[in-house]
Structure 1
Amino acid sequence: MSATETTIREVAALAGCSIATVSRVVTGHGPVSDQMRKRVVQSALELGFPLTRTLAQARPVISVLVPSLTNPVFAGVVAGIEQRARAANMFTILGQSNYDPAQEEDVVSTLIGERPTGMILTVCDPATSRALERVRKAGMPVVTIYNEGTPDGVASVSVDSRGAVRQLTEELLSIGHRRIVFVAGKFTSSDRSSYRYQGYRDAMVAARLIASPPIEVDFIDATKDIDLTEVLSTHQPTAIMASNDLLALTVIASLRRAGLSVPGDVSVTGFDGIDFARQSSPKLTTIRQPSQSMGTLAASLLLEMAAGHKAPMQLRPDFIPLAGETVAPPRPREP
């Protein structure tokens, strides 16, 4: 009996199914329930059974994982991926993780079972992501998008979040702000949030100022409401930087409830450049990521890798500072 046959038997035993069922999952031929397909894929990954397929054997599908479908920044990147997929006569399958590493791993296992040509992922943290490791073990082409610090040998498309926020913080400092705080989505849910805080900290330290600890909030709940009462009392900020535009808009709403004006009393900045944040009043000062172009670029890179035409590459599109109406010099402090 060959080593491959032995491994198939081990996968079948671990998954609690027949060898024929494992074969149907691997080849994509024959009916298998979604639950059983997921069990077989998980068992195969645990045992190191190769799930690699050639482009001709894979389905004409690109699987996509994003943290949330409620944040327009991810809608933009999905639009870019779908546009490139359609041009290649392919389809997309989409899943969301809700910024939860456990859900992330669960969804990815299901997506692997769909036998896609490859996968495009935004994970919580690529350095520790079990979901990303599962895709790599499956031998599938994979591109991370928005993630920074992606391991060597893994393709990625991301802007320099840390450098962008450092630049934005320096602009606040240049017009007189000194008491600046940073409201961020939880770092365990988003490496992007962590890198952006580091950019703020870089600028504050370089200016020999105290960088306040991050105000970490839940991404899902915080877009509904953020209570800044304690932050305003403790730090008395003249500027609040948010790790994304949705949080920035929620910060502005919270400041208004506290009787403060933006930017008269407190300046506010965001990150992402989503359209409706730019159409709000006042128009949000932010950093734009070229999301749709990034999606198209990631899909193109993935297809080139799947066809064997390119090795994994880590690409850095330019970010775009967008001046708005939510930043002004701080008011002089009363004596």
Structure 2
Amino acid sequence: MTIRDVAARAGCSIATVSRVITGNGPVSEDMRKRVVQAALEVGFAIARAFPETRPIISILIPSLTNPVFAVAVAGVEQRARSAGLSTVLGQSNYDPAQEEEIVTALIGERPVGMIMTVCDPVSSVALQRVRKAGLPVVTIYNEGTPEGVGAVSVDNRGAVRRMTEELLALGHRNILFVGGRFVSSDRSARRYEGYRDAMTAAGLQTAPAIEVDFIDATKDIDLTEVIADHRPTAIIASNDLLAVTVIGSLRRAGLSIPEDVSVVGFDGIDFARHVSPRLSTIQQPSQAMGTLAASLLLDMAAGHKPPQQLRPDVIPLSGETIAPPRQCGLSTVNQPPKPA
């Protein structure tokens, strides 16, 4: 494929395509997106045609609402600054369609490479577009990233399996998992698998995941019906923000934490340490992960390293939201769940 093919697909002149590739000359933002989109559609590796990249790293994350992503971005920016680079940021709001749109714009910035958290790296069209464009790319937080792509992630499944085993050791049997919608987060899906692994190994019934929208769930979750149906003694939330919202919902139902229901989060964000009672959670080294992702990306861009997939350890953070379940008869929530 040639520049002529790109121009024909974009409905513009060859000179316009050239201006987008070189960055020399005026081009509207709409036309820039059209040219990049056309290049991706016809299979023209537009990034490889750049005579020189700009000194920036492009970053795509689901949202800055969750501090875990903001902390990782801080790590990326710190490493970028040390290398004399800047960053450009886009948010997808946990939406695969928005991922595709934003990635097209980020490719047009002519970065040295891209760091991304996508909904699902296996099916992500956005990730495929970055690879077709010829840009070095590293995913952060995503597991199951395809070969040939750098990645920095933790063992989500194993971490939640161990946490569920801890709850089981305390005597909990009616444990629920509340998470973001799996279609929007492979991390949430992996964490549910860890919960399911532990419950199955213990010979216990695995309850279906309670899936909620990440953006809306930070405002409120109504668990009234869930509590009535399942009567859980413990709830595992797929991240700390959801855990805090779960605690609020349980309190509105007249329940105490952890006396009536134990609650566990995931991420280890700073403000969760100030929740009362202090949240029990699993900490990801988010800032270090951002720094690792940026370092790996720069090494890949310079040809010093091939794509690698790195897995730092998580750190269990003991808090005050876990306790043994009440004895039978002392709490209405400590009764067997209804048959599925």
TM (normalized to structure 1)? 0.97
2:245 equivalent to 1:221: no
2:10 equivalent to 1:15: yes
Residue equivalent to 1:282: 277
1:50-107 Cα distance to aligned partner (Å, 9 max, x none): 2133898110000000000111000100000000000000000000000000001100
1:229-275 Cα distance to aligned partner (Å, 9 max, x none): 11101110000000000000000000010110100100000000000
CA spacing shift, 1:54–1:141, aligned 2, 3 Å: farther
Which of 127, 131, 149 is 1:132 aligned to? Answer: 127
Task: Give the letter aligned to residue 26 of structure 2.
Answer: P
Residue equivalent to 1:43: 38
Secondary structure of the equivalent of 2:114?
strand
2:52 equivalent to 1:53: no
How many residue pairs were aligned? 330
Checking the alignment, whether the CA contact within 8 Å between 1:55 and 1:307 is kept in structure 2 is no
Secondary structure of the equivalent of 1:182?
strand
* Sequence identity (%): 74
Residue equivalent to 1:210: 205
Residue equivalent to 1:174: 169
CA spacing shift, 1:309–1:55, aligned 2, 3 Å: farther
Give, in whole Å, the separation in 2 of the partners of 1:82 and 1:60. Answer: 12
Residue equivalent to 1:148: 143
1:206-230 Cα distance to aligned partner (Å, 9 max, x none): 0000110000000000111101011
Secondary structure of the equivalent of 1:208?
coil
User: Which residues in structure 2 correspond to 1:24-103 (within 5 Å)?
Assistant: 24-53=19-48, 57-103=52-98
Secondary structure of the equivalent of 2:87?
strand
Structure 1 residues without counterparts, runs of 5 or longer: none
Give, in whole Å, the separation in 1 of the partners of 2:322 and 2:51. Answer: 53
Secondary structure of the equivalent of 2:183?
coil
Which stretch shows the higher mean deviation, 38-47 or 53-62? 53-62
User: Which residues in structure 2 correspond to 1:98-113 (within 5 Å)?
Assistant: 98-113=93-108
TM (normalized to structure 2)? 0.95
Residue equivalent to 1:162: 157
Secondary structure of the equivalent of 1:181?
strand
RMSD: 1.1
Checking the alignment, whether the CA contact within 8 Å between 1:125 and 1:147 is kept in structure 2 is yes
Checking the alignment, whether the CA contact within 8 Å between 1:55 and 1:306 is kept in structure 2 is no
2:328 equivalent to 1:333: yes
Structure 2 residues without counterparts, runs of 5 or longer: 331-340
